[in-house]
Amino acid sequence: MTVAAIDAMINKLQLNAEGKLKHFITIEGLSKTLLTEILDTAESFVGITDQQIKKVPLLRGKTIVNLFFENSTRTRTTFELAAKRLSADVLSMSISTSSTSKGESLLDTIRNLEAMFVDMFVVRHGISGAAHFIARHTAPHISVINAGDGQHAHPTQAMLDMFTIRQIKKDFATLRVAIIGDILHSRVARSQIQALNTLGVAEVRVIAPKTLLPAHVETLGVSVSHSLAEGLKDIDVIIMLRLQKERMTSALLPSESEYFKCFGLTESKLKIAKPDAIVMHPGPINRGVEIDSKVADGPQSVILKQVSNGIAVRMAIMSMAMQPQGGMQ
């Protein structure tokens, strides 16, 4: 099933009868107003980390299940922290001990968890469309958040990236954003492109070798460059992506060292962009492959700020998705 086909099926599922967020599976099809509401709600949660008691009671009595069928320390940890700071009870299921590894189907697992009166599933899965499948088959009162599915989408990562950009740059309308690296295999890149275009940036530019770009990538609403020397000119925001070698089925690059030579971000290449350009990375970072340590740890890097912002943004999305008809209790 193509990414476009998955998004088309999901669009009608994500919103409830009042047009409010019910599930969060993809950014495709969501309005600028709703994305802005997520960012504004996240802003209201940022200050909680400075409080002596880092909790609000919005989801007290609710149970959230993290269903991670792929490893991801950072995403899973921030979802757990976000749920706990909303005062929810959290159950995290490990794939190594899950019954699915013993032959139980995904739907069987969902049905058993529903019998335990849970309220939300946060799903990370290696197959595109898995989160949508669960949202279609789960009980009506349960919300589903996509924490990354195959090569389809990673919408909460994209929104924490948007939040970080707005925090620093304020206005999306004037920005030129470059996404550099393995666009072909990146669910993050697809969600970032959708979010950036919906929020109205001046330009989204992808920079990569031809072998790491999807066919007809321009139809996603981007301009294309195959050179950092040209592609980084006039750029305000640089988003680096890792090489997803686990998803590559053939040799798409001559070597990692050759890739770094041509597409790795170094201090000298960073100077091509605007002087106040910020450097982002959804992680995990491969130092010396797509980014030099001096850049990753340098003054223009906001990579750790992205991690911190992930908690507030995921708090916002979970609280919005679990608000009852008629508004938050």
| pLDDT per residue as tens digits for the range 224-271 | 999 999 999 999 999 999 987 554 444 456 678 889 999 999 999 999
Residue 34, phi then psi, degrees to nearest 5: -70, -40
Tell me what pLDDT residue 329 has.
39
User: Angle between the 187-198 and 155-169 helix axes, to the nearest 10 degrees?
Assistant: 50
**For residue 166, is it left (φ>0), alpha (ψ between -120 and 50) or beta?**
alpha
Q: How far apart are CA 263 and CA 109, in angstroms?
A: 42
Catalytic residue among 102, 216, 219, 249: 102
Report the CATH superfamily, name and number, of domain 3-154+309-321: Aspartate/ornithine carbamoyltransferase (3.40.50.1370)
Query: Which of the following CATH numbers is that of domain 155-303: 1.10.3720.10, 3.40.50.1370, 3.40.50.720, 3.30.800.10?
Result: 3.40.50.1370
Tell me what pLDDT residue 250 has.
46
Residue 209, phi then psi, degrees to nearest 5: -65, 155
Tell me what pLDDT residue 267 has.
97
pLDDT classification of 306: cutoffs 50, 70, 90: very high
Q: Which structure tokens are listed for 87?
A: 């005062």
Least trusted range by pLDDT, from 25-29, 311-315, 318-322, 323-327: 323-327
The verdict on whether 60 is a catalytic residue reads no
CATH 3.40.50.1370-classified regions of the chain: 3-154+309-321, 155-303
Closest CA to 70 of 187, 172, 204, 198: 187
Catalytic residue among 124, 125, 190, 242: 124
Q: Above 50 in pLDDT, residue 328?
A: no
Q: How far apart are CA 279 and CA 34, in angstroms?
A: 26
Q: Above 60 in pLDDT, residue 326?
A: no
Tell me what pLDDT residue 163 has.
98
Contacts of 50 (CB under 8 A, 6+ apart): none
> pLDDT tens-digit profile of 38-77?
999 999 999 887 788 889 999 999 999 999 988 888 899 9
Residue indicated by tokens 């019910």: 22
Tell me what pLDDT residue 47 has.
86
Contacts of 126 (CB under 8 A, 6+ apart): 69, 70, 149, 150
Catalytic residue among 20, 23, 26, 75: 75
> pLDDT tens-digit profile of 168-226?
999 999 999 999 999 998 999 999 999 999 999 999 999 999 999 999 999 999 999 99
Least trusted range by pLDDT, from 296-300, 310-314, 321-325: 321-325
Q: How far apart are CA 162 and CA 160, in angstroms?
A: 5
For residue 12, the tally of other CB atoms under 10 A from its CB is 8
Catalytic residue among 22, 132, 154, 281: 154
Tell me what pLDDT residue 274 has.
98
Give me the percent of the chain exceeding a pLDDT of 70.
Answer: 89
Tell me what pLDDT residue 12 has.
75
User: Angle between the 32-45 and 155-169 helix axes, to the nearest 10 degrees?
Assistant: 70
The verdict on whether 205 is a catalytic residue reads no
Q: Above 70 in pLDDT, residue 273?
A: yes
Tell me what pLDDT residue 50 has.
76
Give me the percent of the chain exceeding a pLDDT of 90.
Answer: 73
Burial 23-59 (b: 16+ CB within 10 A, else e): bbbbbbbbeeebbebbbebbbebbebeeeeeeebebb
Residue 152: alpha-carbon gap to chain centroid: 11
Pairing label, strands 203-207, 223-225:
parallel
Tell me what pLDDT residue 3 has.
65
- Cα-Cα-Cα-Cα dihedral sign, residues 249, 254, 260, 264: negative
Catalytic residue among 36, 41, 63, 74: 74
CB 14 within 8 A of CB 24: yes
> pLDDT tens-digit profile of 82-101?
999 999 999 988 665 555 65
pLDDT greater at residue 151 or residue 205: 205
What average pLDDT does the structure give for the chain?
90
Q: How far apart are CA 220 and CA 238, in angstroms?
A: 18
Tell me what pLDDT residue 248 has.
44
The verdict on whether 74 is a catalytic residue reads yes
